[in-house]
Amino acid sequence: MKSVAQFVREHSLFEGMDAGQVDFIAGCGQLQRSAVGNYLTRENDPADCFYLLLEGRVAIETHRPNQPAVPLLTLNANDVVGWAWLIPPYRYQFDARAVTPLRTVRLDARCIRDKCETDPTLGYELLKRLSAVMLSRLQCARIQLLDLYANPSTGGKVPSR
Amino acid sequence: MNTPRVFTVLERRPDTHDTVTLTIGPSDGQPLPGFTPGQFNMLYSFGAGEVPISFSGMPSLPDTYTHTLRVMGKATAALAALSPGDQLGVRGPFGRGWPMAELRGKHVVVVAGGLGLAPLQPVLEALAAQPEHYAGSQLFYGGRRPQELLYTERLAAWAEQFEVQLSVDQADANWQGHIGVITQLLASSRLSTDNTVALVCGPEIMMRFTVQALQQRGLADSAIYLSMERNMHCAIGHCGHCQWGPNFVCKDGPVFCFADIAPWFFRRAV
């Protein structure tokens, strides 16, 4: 059976990273399974962990009064769920709901933050990698905003008929 | 080829709220010229205008052409309103299509966005019909909303033959598929880059980001083909409306190898 460290080493976030550093980080992790409909994060809850997605699909959502949740994007195997743990006030900004059964590594945020404070080289390396993830998400969100597939002749409006 | 030939609508199938597929046959009953997937016809709605529309049906059907079109203006609205038995004018086939012969023995990655799936449908049908002729196939298809995805029955059928990844920009919580941009799926999917050819068709911005994503995955420029769209009028390289760099999209394209157009593909105002 694979250890947490092996799963962490194989995740794309840590590809090519020094094995000692990865194992150090893996010490903050534990394997977790989640059923369909379970939430990994809830908006405004304390961001006390983040997740390496090993299997399954997660929807990042927000809520609105008396309406169904609004899914903003989905994340799949090899993605990272959550970065609110990185920056004060350490509160999740969105819900993260399991669309399919999930297998994840749950990483304890305080444990990781403490290790990064103790070892700035590790902290900088991790920050660079998470910045790349955040940049990619930002670029994807911008492309989504362009509404590329809308019919230009209707400005994206769908007739009610 | 430059005088419209009269065709009759044999079948009209609505695909989405603004997109229909027409199957048409020649009113004179004479044989039709063959075509390569990726080529296009000029469809002429009498009194309304003429528009370039790609073939979306199989070349193996000798007596008919199939075209999927979206209502964008007067001519396409008139064409989309045609019913079985109505007539239209057709010029074509025109342009250069997908490199079908080159796909043999290769791993074929098809990336389509929105209506861009239409010119790729005959390619996908060929991949599904004779999988033994290819090293493998993958389809990445991005759309606006689940209700606006084209050919949903065919997508399900293709998914039984090869990997089909769907992504939409907007959906409600009932949608079980991916939400986000297609490049995100490309970046995270297992993608073969050896002996691989990628065929890309969609809005130009989507194709720019897709090319970058494919390059990042290690695909060579010579292994990427794009179907470009410009203001095509005459379809034979005379009027100059579709000039793009040194090429006329109607005559030298609409399908181009990225290696041939890379110098001006990312250039503005070309």
Q: Do A143 and B18 touch (CB under 8 A)?
A: no
Q: Which of B171, B184, B187 sits opposite A71 (nearest CB)?
A: B171
C-alpha span between A118 and A27 (Å, rounded)? 15
What confidence score (pLDDT) does residue A155 get? 63
Per-chain mean pLDDT for chain B: 92
Q: Say which residue the tokens 């080159």 belong to.
A: B102
Instruction: Please give the residue that has the higher pLDDT: either B19 or A161.
Output: B19
Question: Going by DSSP bridges, is the β-strand pair B87-94/B107-113 parallel, antiparallel, or unpaired?
Answer: unpaired
pLDDT of residue B123: 97
User: Chain B contacts of A72, Cβ < 8 Å?
Assistant: 179
Question: Contact B63/B33 with Cβ under 8 angstroms?
Answer: no
> CB–CB of A144 and B180 under 8 A?
yes
The strand ranges marked E within chain A are 29-34, 39-41, 49-55, 58-62, 70-75, 80-81, 95-98, 102-108
pLDDT at B195 over 80: yes
Residues of A in contact with B171 (CB under 8 A): 71
Mutation target to probe the B interface, by most B beta carbons within 10 A, among A63, A148, A157, A160 is A148
Helix (H, G, I), strand (E, B) or coil at B196: strand
pLDDT over threshold 60, residue A161:
no
* Interior/surface letters B10-31, b for 16+ CB within 10 angstroms, e for the rest: eebeebbebbbbbbbbbeeeee
> What pLDDT digit, counting tens, does each position of B28-62 carry?
988 999 999 999 999 999 999 999 999 999 988 87
pLDDT in the model for residue A157: 65
Q: What is the pLDDT of residue A156?
A: 60
A1 pLDDT band, cuts 50/70/90, is confident
Question: Is A149–B169 a contact, with Cβ atoms under 8 angstroms apart?
Answer: yes
**CB atoms B18 and A146 under 8 Å:** no
Which of B7-11, B12-16, B183-187, B211-215 is predicted least confidently?
A: B183-187
Q: What is the pLDDT of residue B234?
A: 83
B119: left (phi over 0), alpha (psi -120 to 50) or beta: alpha
pLDDT at position A159 is 53
Lowest mean pLDDT among A2-11, B28-37, B96-105, B235-244: B235-244
Mean pLDDT of B117-126: 97
User: Which strand (E) or helix (H) includes residue A123?
Assistant: helix A120-145
Helix axes A109-118, A120-145, angle to 10 degrees: 130
Q: Please, are residues A99 and A58 in contact by the beta-carbon 8 Å criterion?
A: yes
